[in-house]
Amino acid sequence: MPNTSFKELLAPWFDGAPEQRITGLALDNRQIQQGDVFIAVQGHSLDARRFIADAIRAGAVAVISDDGDTSGQFGLTLHDNVPVVAFPHLKSSLSDIAARFYQAPSKHMTTIGVTGTNGKTTVSQLIAQWIDLMQGRAAVMGTTGNGFLDALEPALNTTGSALDIQQQLAAFNVAGATHVAMEVSSHGLIQDRVKAVDFDAAIFTNLSRDHLDYHGTMEAYAEAKLRLFTHYGSPVSVINADDDVGAQWLGSMPEAIAVSMSEEGVVSHQGRKLWLTAVSYATSGVTIAFSSDWGDGEFTAPLVGEFNVMNLLLSLTTLLGLGYEKSALLDVAPQLQAVIGRMEVFHRADKPMLVVDYAHTPDALEKALTALRRHCEGALWCIFGCGGDRDTGKRPMMASIAETLADKAILTDDNPRSESPDIIVSDMLAGMAAPDNAIVLHDRADACRYAFEHAAPSDVILVAGKGHEDYQVLASGTIDYSDRDTVRMLLEGEQ
């Protein structure tokens, strides 16, 4: 546990804090332990300054209070003999404060940031797997959890709070991590949650419609992602050159490494590059050949789908950029595994192949269906829904994609939250040319069972939207539910 004083913590910003020993930081007064500093932020919907007295009663020995970003001046007052420092523009300094308290843990490990709409989880976990296979010890932070791959702890958000991130990085450092692969969301970037993280490598996977309820426009969304490459000085930047936004960025990023599914995609880039030269698809995985500034190579990995080829190439390129030997990386590639809930295949002899994927955006659904068509000898089924209280514009788009690319479309509930499932499905059906051909089954388990019972052994069933999640959010509350468990039980005859 860090051993410092309130004065030492605030020294870069304010020299008037007392020499009070402190043992922890907390943003929530309900999580205060004796000896903690309570950081009272004025949020959009909640002003934590209202709970300063509660935090002190709970054991806080010092308080950093948001000054509302109005005065621009630091100040020191006492509340029940506890020092309270008014801190201007506090939210933008949280990451720096936490990094100082936890002694800048990201500087003691190789820290890799992955941003983009889709592929963040797969790329971060492929990198971690590859590093582990190369005798390193890698941790991950992201959607499916935080921790070492054999012991992931659930995460509330893709990118946690500024305090959570530094605390987690410090824990990884203490546990002996050599590397951390972190998913970095647009929210985390725009809100400065990773401001004090020292990134050794940054990766851009792609950009497609998502989070417009927060960012407003695709331009603002792209600008948020770009911050990972413009604000952190990462020595290794890896960009998907096949993405329109990535290609645009590469025009002004000659130091970045461009990655493409073809030589044409990188031919104009002046910096380092890696591109696909051949690929073959089988139910057991993919075989990839490539050329690069590190030479040519070929490897096989047990992942399915074209977009996983790009995920593999981005991961490989990052590790090459960080100095790993190409031949050693290729030798262990066959030992890589699919990430849970990310194009995860469930199959038994003489049964339809079921694939669980997290695809919950139009682009991700299109990529998943296009990828599975290569592996499908019979009919391609698509089971999907759209979340409630979220971007309504993608509902008809996703339904149109399912109707166009799948042979059978089943509309079901995702996380309806407070919205009426019937209204959500109605919005989806509006995007279909022949809505009467769609099957509507609100219960996800029923939807999976229907497809499984009506599909031929040569068919492929994509169960899209929830991936690794083991819950469903309804208006009445959160319930236990897992697509992965459902399809596993169907294959094992436990219906």
**Binding-site positions:** 27, 116-122, 157-159, 185, 191, 193, 390, 414-417, 465, 469
Q: For residue 370, with 0-12 CB atoms within 10 Å meaning exposed, 13-18 middle and 19 or more buried, which class applies? A: middle
What residue numbers does the annotated binding site for ATP cover? 116-122
**What single DSSP character describes residue 153?**
B
Q: Nearest 10 degrees: CA dihedral of 290, 293, 296, 299? A: -50
What residue numbers does the annotated binding site for meso-2,6-diaminopimelate cover? 390, 414-417, 465, 469
> 3-class DSSP state for residue 454?
helix
Give the HSE-up count for residue 21: Cα atoms under 13 Å, Cβ half-sphere.
Answer: 5
Amino acid letter, 198? D
CB 146 within 8 A of CB 125: no
DSSP letter for each residue of 42-106: B-SS-BGGGGHHHHHHHT-SEEEEE-TTSS---EEEEETTEEEEEETT-GGGHHHHHHHHTT-GG
Measured from the Cβ of residue 467, the count of other Cβ atoms closer than 10 Å reads 24
Give the HSE-up count for residue 468: Cα atoms under 13 Å, Cβ half-sphere.
Answer: 14
Instruction: Round to whole Å and give the CA distance between 154 and 76.
Output: 38
Locate 56 and state its tokens.
Answer: 């002190």
CA distances in angstroms from 389 to 263, 386, 466, 472, listed in the order given = 42, 10, 16, 14
